[in-house]
Amino acid sequence: MTNSNDGTLLGRTREGLEELARRLIDEGVEAKADLKSTFAVDTAHRKIEFCKDLSAIANTDDHRLDDHGYIIIGAKRGTLIGGVDTWKDVGEDNFSATLTNIAKKYLAPVPAFNFVSYQDDDVGHWGVIVIPPSPSQPHIFIKEVSGDPAKHEWFVRINDITERAGPSDYARVLSKAASRAVKPLETELQRLVLKVERLEGQAPNLDGLAALLGQGTPATETRATDQDDDDGPSPRSDSLVARLRRHLVTEEARVADLLIEEALNVKALMLDDRAENPHRFPSWEPSELIKHIEYMETEARTLVEAIATVARYGSNERFGDAVVEAVDVIAERPKLAGPYWNHAPELRTYPLTLALYALAFVSAGRNDGALLRRVLDLDYRLDQEGDPVPIIAAMRDVRMTSDLFRTAMGKRYYEPIAERVKTVIPVWCGRFVPGKPGDQPFYQGEFGLALEYTKFRLSFHGAGFPLPGTYLYGYEAEAAIKRMLKQKAKFLSDLHGEQVENRLKQFDTNAHEMIAPGASGFGGFYRGASAAWSGDGDDP
């Protein structure tokens, strides 16, 4: 398939892929990036050489390029040569089909790949073959010509050299195959183990969460729960565990159990791969992409609304730990198995983004940022080897998928993810801030999150940049945020403490740079934060 919007292009536009290819040309070849000054498949020998390169890259693991591989045609190290017209007469699609047919003849299983052609004004035609991570290693030769390579041989890349696979390569692919086979079972087992540890015994339904937070558990509900622990007249029904649970389980623990159970369901959503929630998109049709976003929203809504319920009705001192524990369960970039679209892990952080926005929305509406502060102090786990980063970085992650949201929503929003969230969170959580228009707490909460991001300084600049959002463009944002600042809202003081004035100064320094070119007339809020806080600004 050669459509430039196909998932095997790593979620990049054609222009984005060209930019990456030019960078690889400048940096030179490595394990999964090969440069070819010329390219042809008009003889058996050249067909085999293409299949060796293709399969060797697909058989090699290297995280430096997100485990994707590239064969760049019409280039040598440091120079784009161009002048390759192998596909000029037949066209990009037909040439890609030819390569696929060649691979089918010599290799099994056939590696996935995508061919994209370019034309440079100075050097003419050149192209890129993109090879996504393979879940089907090893890719083996099934046909030989003169015994080189021999049937059933397979190849890997070591640095910039294609070599026959060795014993360590056999061990690696066998280990990966075994891990792939048991991964779904491991994920489900982990979920069930955590569920048993947290929820031994029957937990109350989410419908009763607000009552549980506000007034405690009525005596009738407690008796019903005790009865549910008994499975009939068996002597085992009144076990020591059941009796201890009746005496020891507190309302705080029961709320935590409810939230963590739902967080585990969302974590499973962030990992799974099904038609409604694919790791790679079969097409970039807006009607298909929006279904995926809506599916994640539907599956995450229960947890998001439950967190908002606790933020509205529960005290931070009593029930804050429950929210913090639940968010911590999903505060991790998903580690997806098998081939996937380049930004699929980042897209899977969308439920976490919804949870942070919901908590900010309710916290701003209630003018109390203490619980949000505790959540923002959590770590966001990127991978097993890397150091964790503050959880606000998850919102930077999900912004990598902006093109997908723009396409799905059918509009050229400057901040498409934030615009999407703005259509969701006020609808879900508006009842938790009664008497306030949905836009007002949304802009205010989003502004609080934007200030949180200014703590990350850039070495070449010094002052931190705020996280972009709809507050930069919405007409109503300036009045809502200035009102909050002039009142020296407790929400902001809770979030940023003694650093609030410094955060506001950094915002005033850099917020204008977060605005898309040509969009400064949209009437959002991107200046005057310090003056409004000090009381020197204009009345909202």
User: How much is the average pLDDT of 376-389?
Assistant: 80
Mean pLDDT of 422-449: 92
Would the pTM of this model clear 0.85, i.e. be above it?
no
Decide if pLDDT at 229 tops 50: no
Quote the pLDDT of residue 241.
67
Instruction: State both tokens at 299.
Output: 């599956």
Cβ–Cβ under 8 Å, residues 164 and 140: no
Which H, E and C letters describe 368-434, residue by residue?
CCHHHHHHHCCEEECCCCCCCEECCHHHHHHHHHHHHHHHHHCCCCCCHHHHHHHHHHHHHHHHHCC
What proportion of the chain, given as a percentage, has pLDDT over 90? 40
**Whole-angstrom Cα distance, residue 55 to residue 107?**
8
3-state secondary structure of 294: helix
Query: Phi and psi at residue 282, in whole multiples of 5°?
Result: -65, -25
Residue 163, beta-bridge partner list: 156
**159 with 105: CB under 8 angstroms?**
no
Inter-residue contact 339 to 355 (CB < 8 Å): no
Res 218: pLDDT: 37
* Pairing, β 155-158 against β 161-164: antiparallel
Q: Which domains does the chain have, with CATH numbers?
A: 7-165 (3.30.950), 260-534 (no CATH)
Using the predicted structure, report yes or no on whether residue 73 has a pLDDT greater than 50: yes
The answer on pLDDT for 305 being more than 90 is yes
Joined together, the tokens standing for residue 474 give 């919405």
For residue range 163-197, list pLDDT tens digits in order: 888 877 777 777 766 665 665 666 566 556 655 55
Q: State the alpha helices, DSSP H only, in 199-285.
A: 209-215, 219-229, 240-248, 251-271
Residue 421: pLDDT over 70? yes
What three-state secondary structure class fits 247?
A: helix
CA dihedral 367, 305, 199, 345 (to 10 degrees): -100
Q: Is residue 334 packed enough to be buried (19+ CB in 10 Å), middle (13-18) or exposed (0-12)?
A: buried
The C-alpha atoms of residue 151 and residue 147 are separated, in whole angstroms, by 7
Q: Which of 76-85, 188-197, 217-226, 355-364 has the lowest mean pLDDT?
A: 217-226
- Please tell me the distance from the alpha carbon of residue 8 to that of residue 471, in angstroms, as a whole number: 34
